Structure 1
Amino acid sequence: MRDAIEEVLLWQTDYTHRNTDGMKRRGVIIRDELRRELEDLVPALKARSGIDDLQVQGKDGMGPKSAVPWTRIFSSSRSTRATDGWYLVFLFSADGGRAYLSLNQGTRRWNGSEFELRPPVELAHRNQWARQLLEKDFVIPDEWVTEIDVDPRNESLGHSYELGNVLAVQYEADAVPPDEQIEGHLLQAAEWIGSIYREADIGLRVPGEAPDVADFEQKLAEVAEPRKSVRAGPRLSASQRKVIEERAVAVTVEYFTSKQLGFAVKDVGATRSYDLHATRDGETLKIEVKGTTSNGSEVILTRNEVDLHQAEYPATALALVRYIELENTPDGSRATGGELILQWPWKPLDAALTAIAFRYTTGL
């Protein structure tokens, strides 16, 4: 591994986006040689992490060559692309000065037309969540740092790796350690990524991840792509989803029926394409209620919900109750708390909608 890292860093000093002989050689190391060396360690990494679907992948750019090539170790069911999930990755600085073994994450999200960078504040919260999780169970050695510098030019892709770093150990070009030390770092990081994967599988309070959205996407994948590996089990059970929804409705009803607002509110969620029908002095308001244990950055809307609220605007509102707490009791799940975020009037904007499935008419 040391030889591979040193040679990649050497080629980095002659980096060009063109597919020169040097960049071709760099690609062979990233995609093949270093990947195969890491694949030899996968059984040990699986045992240390407790994750049984670890794989290795290297990328140096499709077409124009990337300034920051990488080779990553990831769970195939939890990080299908480098833009998603958490993983371990060797990152090589654009100037060839250093490489990092980084516990990193997908920093981009599909917006319907392209992958866009997650908000830096959201990535900072995700990093903080992961570090606090690890610090509860592990003593983090001082050599593991929270900030990395892979692209002095601060280009968008290199900067995204820097924003996504949870912890990293640095290898200077003239001081890459022997393979035994690198392997030790990998085994150490494998324990950490295993812990993060298990907590993210539950996913109730991971910043930027909504468990209800993840469960919905998983169900779609199971139907549309049954041969693909998916994370085992939903984050939320049916009973948990029910109490979350009931809690969100209760918080919203309490707000709209308060003395300050004075609405009469009827729960119509079982029969209509919205949840609450509110009236006051001749005014009518159709309220869509969404409850989540997450920060509420994403919610699921049906086509009927979108159509109705676009058509009925401005007599519409979105009541998002986020950070709901779930508690398991002998009598089942119980939901408490929650912060109400209200958009009133509310019209679902096309730019904020992302299609995650289509129904296709084959013409047969």
Structure 2
Amino acid sequence: MRNTLRRICELQPSYSSENTHEMQERGRLVRQDLVRDIRALREPLARALGTFGRDFFVEGSDGIGRKTELAWTRFCSEEMSPRPTSGFYVVLHFSTDGSGVNIAVGCSSSKFHNGYSIVLPLDELDKRCEWAREIVLEDHGSLRSFTDLNDFGARAKLPKSFERACALVKKIAYDDIEDDVVERHLVESAEMLRSIYSAQRLGRELSPADQTELDILDVTRPASNVRKGQGFGLNAKERQAVELRAMDVVEDWLRTQGYRLSDTSATKPYDFEAKKEGETLFVEVKGTTSDKADSIAMTHGEVALHRREKGRTALMIVTSIRLQKDAVQPKASDGKLETLIRWNIDDWLLEPTAFRLSRKAAV
């Protein structure tokens, strides 16, 4: 691998968007030789990825048509990132001045939202990278040696977006490129990628509304395979465990506030009827494993209630619920509670997710 990486670095200063002799050689190196070299490390890298190493996948590209400033080779779980335009992965980029190779834990510049994959604005891309860093820091206690700048010298718009999508970067200077050094940092990056995949698998990245939309798309467009690469995979038992945990968190809080409660979740379009000092609140509970809840999903009946009883309803959102997966009895714990007492639903943006279509009665 040492010779492959060093040779790519040597070719970088000769970059051209045209298919020159140097660019032909660089293309062969990133698409064939480096892919082969990383595949040769499948055993330690797959082991570092844990269960996500079972479908270990490697590919490289030097541009489609015209050559790109930042040729790349990446590895990942194929299920979690079936394309470079979806999910997280480890990617090798080369500084444009040939000064070294950059091993990065990066992500696609697009994300599932409102039922489809959308290109993220730069500020949202930055937030996605920050989320990944927070997950790694939480899991490992540090970012290890992956604290270098995501500045590889790119000038064109698309390569600049490649840089922006790199959350964690370790630059290895040309003179320091040795097989053992590269392998050590690749294993480090794979361990960090595993942490991110695990968080995605628990639904920590997608908003509650996006999680619900994935379920809807599974029913309305089963052949689309849109769930692949989104990383979210809670089953019915796991969702129920999350919902029950959210109910417990909200019930405890309401009782400490002096409310007398009736659980109405099975019979009404709200979860609790809470009474205190002659006041009655209709309480809606939303629980999620997501680390944030910028959007939620509601049924037609729930929306109608919050509009009809405006000033007498409460929205309780419990985020960051931690789930211990178990095929028989998954367990949910923790959770951060946001309380919106007498909230105004009209302060939120209401967007249709799906429609129920019924045949008109025959005349």
The TM-score normalised by the length of structure 2 is 0.68
Q: Which amino acid aligns with 2:130?
A: A
CA contact (8 A) 1:243 1:335 kept: no
**Residue 90 (structure 1) shift:** 0.4
Deviations 1:181-210 (A, max 9, x none): 42343344434444554x426637x5x446
Aligned residues: 341
By how many angstroms is 1:71 displaced?
1.1
Spell out the pairing of 1:1-364 with structure 2 (5 A cutoff).
Answer: 1-16=1-16, 18-21=17-20, 22-23=22-23, 25-50=25-50, 51-63=53-65, 65-106=67-108, 108-112=110-114, 114-116=118-120, 117=122, 118=124, 120-121=126-127, 123-135=129-141, 140=144, 144-151=146-153, 153=155, 158=160, 161-162=163-164, 164-166=166-168, 168-172=169-173, 174-175=174-175, 177-194=177-194, 196-197=196-197, 199-200=198-199, 203=202, 206=204, 208-209=205-206, 217=214, 224-225=222-223, 234=234, 237-247=238-248, 249-250=250-251, 268-275=264-271, 288-297=284-293, 301=297, 304=300, 308=304, 318-324=315-321, 333=331, 335=333, 338-342=336-340, 344-347=343-346, 348-349=348-349
Gaps of 5+ in 2: 359-363
In the aligned structure 1, how far is the partner of 2:191 from the partner of 2:86?
20
1:100, distance to aligned residue in structure 2 (A)? 0.8
Task: Check the 8 A contact 1:58/1:71 in 2, yes or no.
Answer: yes
Question: Cα distance 1:308–1:164, how it changes in 2: closer, same or farther (>3 A)?
Answer: farther
Tell which deviates more after alignment, 68-77 or 19-28. 19-28
Q: Determine if contact 2:105/2:167 at 8 Å carries over to the other structure.
A: yes
Supply the RMSD in Å over aligned alpha carbons.
Answer: 4.9
**Identity among equivalent pairs (%):** 24
Distance 1:23 1:280 in 2: 74
Give distance in 2, aligned partners of 1:65 and 1:313: 60
**Greater displacement, 112-121 / 219-228:** 219-228
| SS across alignment from 2:345 | coil
Task: Supply the distance in 2 between the matched residues of 1:332 and 1:56 (Cα, whole angstroms).
Answer: 33
The code of the aligned residue for 2:8 comes to: V
Distance 1:279 1:192, change over 3 A: closer
What secondary structure sits across from 1:339 in the alignment?
strand
8 A Cα contact 1:203 1:210, kept in partner? no
Q: CA deviation at 1:310?
A: 9.5
The answer on whether the counterparts of 1:107 and 1:164 sit within 8 Å (CA) in structure 2 is: no
Instruction: Report the Cα offset of residue 74 of structure 1.
Output: 0.2
Separation (CA, whole Å) in 2 of partners of 1:151 and 1:202: 34
Name the structure 1 match of 2:361.
none
Structure 1 residues 230-286: Cα deviation after superposition (integer angstroms, max 9, x where no partner): 87963872552232231355267569xx58xx9x98755434555467899999987
Worse-superposed segment, 223-232 or 101-110 = 223-232
